[in-house]
Chains A and B, each alone.
Chain A
Amino acid sequence: MPANKALKRRRGLISRKALPYVLSLPALIVCIGILIPFFTAVFYSLQRYRLSQPWARKMNWGENYLNFLSDPGFWSTLKVSLSYAVLTVGLELLFGLGIALLLRKRNRVNNFVSILLLLPLMTAPALAALMFKLMTNPGFGILSYFLTLIGIDDFRWGASPSSALFTVVLVDIWVYTPFIMILLLAGLRSLPTQPFEAAALDGVPRIQQFFRITLPMLTPYILTATLFRLLESIQQFDIIYAMTQGGPGDTLTVFQVEAYLNFFQSTNVGRSAALLMILWAITFVISNIFIKNWLRLRERARGEA
Chain B
Amino acid sequence: MLELEDIQHYLLTRPKASIARYNFMSFRTAESGRKWLEAMMDTVGTVHSVNNGTETDMRWVTIAFTFNGLRKMGVDEVSLATFPEAFRQGMAARAAMFGDTGENHPDHWEDNITSPDLHAVVILFARDAEECERCIQRHQEYIDLSPGVEILSSVHLEPVPPFDYIHEHFGYRDRITYMSIEGMDIEPTPGSLPASKPGEFFLGYPDETGVIPIMPQPEILTKNGSFLGYRKMQEHVGRFRDFLKANGKTEEEQELVAAKMMGRWRKSGAPLVLCPHKDDPAIGYDDQRNNNFDYEKMDPHGYACPLGAHVRRMNVRDNRISQIMNRRLMIRRGGTYGPALPEGAPEDGANRGVAVFGGCADLTRQFEFLVSVWATDPEFHELNEKDPFIGNHDGTFDMVIPNRPIKKKLKTLPAFTTVKGGAYFFLPGLKGLRYLASLGK
Do the two chains bind?
A: no
Which residues does B use to contact A, with CB under 8 Å?
none
